[in-house]
Amino acid sequence: MADSQSDVVIVGAGPSGAVAALELARAGMSVTVLEQGGWVAADEFDGARPEWELTQLRKWHPNPNIRGRPEDYPIDAALSDVNPLMFAGVGGAALIYGAHWVRFMPSDFRVRTLDGVADDWPFTYDDLAPFYEYVEESMGVSGLSGNPAYPDGAPCPLPPLPIGKVGRKAAEGMNRLGWHWWPGSNAIPSRAWRGLQPCVLRGTCGTGCSDGAKATPDRTHWPEAMRLGVRLMTGARVGEVTTDAQGRASGAVWTDREGLRHHARGDAVILCANGIGTPRLLLMSGLGNRSGLVGRRLMMHPYAGVMGTFDEDLESWVGPAGQILVSMQFYETDASRGFVRGAKWNCMPAGGPQSFRAGYTGGTLTEGWGAALHESVRRKFGRTFEWGIIGEDLPDPDNRIVLSSGLTDSDGLPAPEIHYRMSDNTHRMLAFHTARAVEAMEAAGAIATEVTPLIRDCGWHLMGTAVMGTDRETSVVDPFGHVHDVPNLYVMDGATFPTSSGMNPTATIMAVAARSVLNLIETRSDLSPAH
From the list 385, 395, 360, 27, the residue with the least C-alpha distance to 172 is 385
pLDDT at position 410 is: 94
pLDDT at position 529 is: 40
| Cα 32 to Cα 238: distance, rounded to the nearest angstrom | 13
On whether the CB atoms of residues 81 and 302 are closer than 8 A, the answer is yes
pLDDT at position 528 is: 45
| Cα 108 to Cα 125: distance, rounded to the nearest angstrom | 8
pLDDT at position 492 is: 98
Helix (H, G, I), strand (E, B) or coil at 278: helix
Alpha carbon of residue 345 to chain centroid: 16
Residues in the chain: 531
pLDDT at position 364 is: 57
The stretches in the chain having pLDDT less than 70 are 1-2, 353-369, 373, 525-531
pLDDT at position 45 is: 81
| Cα 268 to Cα 11: distance, rounded to the nearest angstrom | 11
Bridge partners of 449? 308
pLDDT at position 531 is: 36
Largest CA distance in the chain: 73
Segments of 368-510 assigned E as strands: 384-391, 400-408, 414-420, 448-452, 489-491
pLDDT at position 368 is: 60
On whether the CB atoms of residues 293 and 43 are closer than 8 A, the answer is no
pLDDT at position 358 is: 45
pLDDT at position 527 is: 58
Bridge partners of 241? 252
pLDDT at position 224 is: 97
pLDDT at position 52 is: 75
Give me the torsion for CA of 266, 270, 272, 275, rounded to 10°: 130
| Cα 212 to Cα 318: distance, rounded to the nearest angstrom | 17
pLDDT at position 365 is: 56
| Cα 320 to Cα 380: distance, rounded to the nearest angstrom | 19
